[in-house]
């Protein structure tokens, strides 16, 4: 029996041509198998010699396989951990701009070559131009002028190479960051609600801004800094030793000390960078919550409490940052000590060799310059390690976003029918991480052009029910059908183009009222916009604004009242050429007169649309064709207003409570 056929994995995979089966590459998956007639001890053994072994050979750098043969007999599970770092993310996006990276490195090599050539020219000026050692002790100003002019020209050439290297590096790193940022934002836009909650808004903002910047800096440092440091280390060491072999002893002693310090600091700071980013996430979340909920904070006089909460998150961030900086602060003083001691050693050795006549004084000056370049290059390398370490941490966090597969995916069906029918077939639904069903065995159907109202007490599952239609969530059991087709079989764009949805919270964007309405249909004419706004009872107050439909809305529509925001949101839904309209308690801020006018317009001007209306007030739903009463996640009854008053106790209780409340308000 083919063991590969026994595997079941959910997710997106990559075809392994050698094995003819799928090898999966998210961060962590459990591959479960079905026991066969073979011994349970033989199954993982065969697997380890077959699939896992071949996979390990092909990608041995990224796989850590833990196979517990004894435990497999009990759990029938083999754990395979796929270790993937941020480096693969970097190379995936960087290869598009490889030419700029190569050019930047080439220009940097030329710039470093110029820097390394300067000490030899300086030695020539000192030995022959000033001291005249090659001319019987007579100084030669001609050598000084000629060599000095050559130094100036070479420095200018090196400066041009440095500029070109910087330009190519910036083109590469900025476009690299731009691509990652756009892909991360696009992936976030396709996240399910549960995925957004798992990451948190503050974390997603940090990842698409701060983490992208860190990765950009890493790429820039890798292209320029690593080449520069490598050249200084390799070519500088060769040039130094070529002056006098004794100078190699100084390099041999100094470099291990510096490398030991770099390794010590990098090992200590690496785990702190991940902690630093998480605490930055937390601080940004607190800021985002307080900016969005500023009115609530002020209304309840909680500024001091929120200031303390922010102070705690900011304090945690500062503490972590302080620990990193303390470790990094060790590097420069120690490197300076090593550099100065090495310089003293070079001068001492050089002085002895000059006395012996083995070398000239200018050579000692050149040796000191080379040593300074080498050790400063190593110091720069330490800074690069810090940037790279933090950049790889950020790259892993970005990869978590980019590799997160939305659980709700496109179907392959292409239904041609556009009737506007909706059907719930024995639907049950449970939110992720919850143990109890929110909806239980819901069976409802809504015909084309029919108006179905859904009413019930708070928390009974009304919004959860309608969220299943556009697939904001998928059903746990049963099926939801639109136009006779299971919504899971629709391409998401096709499904959602058939539905206009007005959410409980009216989300407006910081642009004009016209552009907010045009989000429903970017091709809508001025007449269509005005028609939708009039039906939503929004045209009058819009025209009273200073710039009418071109009036700009502040962030989240805070310059408008709750009822005005709701009416603009309804206008946006009505201008969309959809066959199904869902109003999720979206008239709660409207007065009775305005709501009645809206309901009348929907019945007359949008009679062709199938309408599902969620409301708390009986007056909002009593004219619907049918009313579904939800109670504890199940349909208690469904019928007209008059029928439910006769047959449904839950509906009668709601009616009596609202009737009593209305009488008290009028009395």
The pLDDT of residue 612 is above 90: yes
Q: Alpha helix (H) ranges present in 506-609? A: 513-518, 526-535, 539-543, 562-575, 592-605
Claim to verify: residue 482 and residue 562 sit in the same structural domain: no
CB 542 within 8 A of CB 548: yes
478 within domain boundaries: yes
Claim to verify: residue 628 and residue 562 sit in the same structural domain: no
pLDDT in tens, 61-71: 333 333 333 33
Claim to verify: residue 80 and residue 8 sit in the same structural domain: yes
Claim to verify: residue 364 and residue 449 sit in the same structural domain: no
68 within domain boundaries: yes
The CATH code of the domain that includes 155 is: 1.20.1560.10
The mean per-residue pLDDT over the stretch 188-212 comes to 84
Q: Please give the structure tokens belonging to residue 452.
A: 């179905």
The CATH code of the domain that includes 649 is: 3.40.50.300
The pLDDT of residue 644 is above 70: yes
The secondary structure of residue 548, as a DSSP letter, is: G
Q: What confidence category does residue 212 fall into, taking pLDDT thresholds of 50, 70 and 90?
A: very high
Claim to verify: residue 512 and residue 373 sit in the same structural domain: no
Claim to verify: residue 237 and residue 343 sit in the same structural domain: yes
Q: What is the dihedral of CA 176, 179, 181, 187, to 10 degrees?
A: -140
CB 221 within 8 A of CB 388: yes
Claim to verify: residue 479 and residue 517 sit in the same structural domain: no
pLDDT in tens, 330-359: 877 888 888 888 888 888 888 888 888 778
Question: Last residue of a domain, which of 69, 84, 99?
Answer: 84
- Mode of pairing for the β-strands spanning 580-584 and 499-502: parallel
Claim to verify: residue 652 and residue 556 sit in the same structural domain: no
Pick the range with the lowest mean pLDDT from 189-193, 322-326, 421-425: 189-193
The pTM of the full predicted model, rounded to 2 decimals, is 0.67
Claim to verify: residue 516 and residue 430 sit in the same structural domain: no
408 within domain boundaries: no
Question: Last residue of a domain, which of 572, 592, 616?
Answer: 572
239 within domain boundaries: yes
The domain in which residue 111 lies consists of: 90-402
Question: Last residue of a domain, which of 368, 402, 436?
Answer: 402
Taking the C-alpha atoms of residue 388 and residue 210, their distance in angstroms, rounded to an integer, is: 14
**351-381: burial string, b at 16+ Cβ within 10 Å, e else:** eebeeeeebbbbbbbbbbbbbbbbbebbbbb
The mean per-residue pLDDT over the stretch 448-468 comes to 90
The pLDDT of residue 454 is above 90: yes
The mean per-residue pLDDT over the stretch 428-448 comes to 89
CB 59 within 8 A of CB 24: no
Q: Which residue has the tokens 């007005």?
A: 502
Q: Please give the structure tokens belonging to residue 137.
A: 């002790």
Claim to verify: residue 395 and residue 340 sit in the same structural domain: yes
Structural domain count of the chain = 4
410 within domain boundaries: no
157 within domain boundaries: yes
412 within domain boundaries: no
Claim to verify: residue 190 and residue 332 sit in the same structural domain: yes
For residue 305, which phi and psi values (nearest 5 degrees)?
-65, -45
Claim to verify: residue 393 and residue 435 sit in the same structural domain: no
The pLDDT of residue 9 is above 70: no
């Amino acid at each position: 029996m083919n063991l590969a056929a026994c595997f079941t994995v959910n997710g997106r995979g990559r075809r392994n041509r050698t094995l003819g089966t799928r090898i999966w590459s998210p961060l962590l998956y459990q591959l479960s198998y079905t026991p066969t007639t073979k011994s349970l001890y033989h199954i993982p053994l065969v697997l380890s010699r077959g699939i896992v072994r071949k996979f390990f050979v092909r990608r041995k750098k990224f796989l850590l396989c833990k196979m517990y043969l004894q435990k497999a007999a009990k759990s029938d599970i083999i754990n395979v951990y796929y270790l993937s770092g941020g480096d693969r993310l970097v190379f995936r996006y960087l290869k598009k701009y490889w030419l700029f990276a190569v050019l930047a490195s080439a220009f940097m090599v030329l710039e470093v070559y110029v820097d390394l050539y300067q000490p030899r020219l300086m030695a020539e000026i000192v030995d022959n131009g000033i001291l005249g050692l090659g001319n019987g002790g007579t100084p030669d100003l001609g050598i000084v002028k000629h060599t000095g002019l050559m130094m100036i020209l070479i420095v200018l050439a090196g400066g041009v190479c440095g500029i070109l290297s910087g330009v190519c590096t910036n083109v590469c790193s900025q476009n690299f960051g731009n691509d990652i940022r756009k892909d991360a934002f696009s992936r976030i836009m396709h996240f399910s609600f549960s995925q957004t909650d798992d990451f948190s808004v503050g974390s997603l903002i940090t990842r698409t801004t701060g983490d992208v910047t860190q990765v950009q800096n890493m790429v820039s440092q890798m292209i320029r800094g690593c080449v520069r440091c490598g050249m200084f280390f390799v070519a500088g060491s060769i040039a130094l030793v070529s002056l006098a072999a004794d100078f190699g002893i100084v390099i041999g002693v100094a470099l291990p000390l510096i490398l030991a310090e770099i390794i010590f600091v990098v090992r200590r700071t690496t785990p702190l960078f991940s902690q630093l980013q998480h605490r930055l996430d937390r601080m940004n979340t607190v800021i985002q919550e307080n900016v969005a909920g500023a009115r609530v904070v002020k209304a309840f006089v909680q500024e001091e409490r929120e200031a303390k909460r922010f102070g705690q998150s900011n304090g945690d961030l500062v503490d972590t940052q302080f620990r990193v900086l303390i470790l990094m602060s060790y590097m420069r003083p120690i490197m300076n000590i090593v550099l100065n001691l090495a310089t003293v050693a070079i001068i001492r050795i050089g002085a002895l060799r000059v006395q012996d006549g083995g070398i000239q004084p200018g050579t000692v000056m050149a040796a000191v310059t080379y040593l300074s370049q080498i050790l400063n290059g190593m110091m720069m390398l330490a800074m690069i390690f810090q940037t790279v370490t933090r950049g790889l941490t950020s790259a892993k966090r970005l990869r978590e976003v980019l590799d997160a597969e939305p659980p709700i995916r496109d179907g392959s069906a292409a239904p041609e029918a556009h009737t506007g029918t909706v059907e719930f077939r024995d639907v049950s639904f449970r939110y992720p991480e919850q143990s109890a069903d929110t909806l239980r065995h819901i069976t409802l159907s809504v015909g084309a052009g029919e108006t179905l109202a859904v009413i019930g007490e708070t928390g009974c599952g009304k919004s959860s029910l309608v969220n299943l239609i556009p697939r904001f969530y998928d059903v746990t059991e049963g099926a939801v059908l639109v136009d006779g087709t299971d919504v899971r079989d629709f391409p998401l764009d096709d499904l959602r183009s058939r539905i206009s949805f007005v959410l409980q919270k009216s989300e407006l964007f910081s642009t004009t009222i016209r552009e907010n309405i045009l989000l429903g249909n970017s091709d809508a004419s001025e007449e269509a916009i005005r028609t939708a706004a009039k039906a939503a009872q929004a045209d009058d107050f819009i025209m009273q604004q200073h710039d009418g439909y071109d009036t700009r809305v502040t962030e989240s529509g805070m310059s408008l009242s709750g009822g005005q925001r709701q009416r603009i949101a309804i206008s946006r839904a009505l201008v969309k050429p959809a066959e199904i309209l869902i109003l999720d308690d979206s008239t709660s801020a409207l007065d009775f007169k305005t709501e009645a006018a809206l309901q009348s317009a929907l019945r007359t001007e949008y009679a062709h649309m199938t309408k599902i209306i969620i409301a708390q007030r009986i007056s909002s739903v009593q004219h619907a064709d049918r009313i579904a009463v939800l109670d504890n996640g199940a349909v208690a009854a469904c019928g007209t207003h008059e029928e439910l008053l006769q047959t449904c106790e839950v509906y009668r209780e709601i009616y009596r409570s609202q009737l009593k409340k209305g009488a008290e308000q009028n009395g």
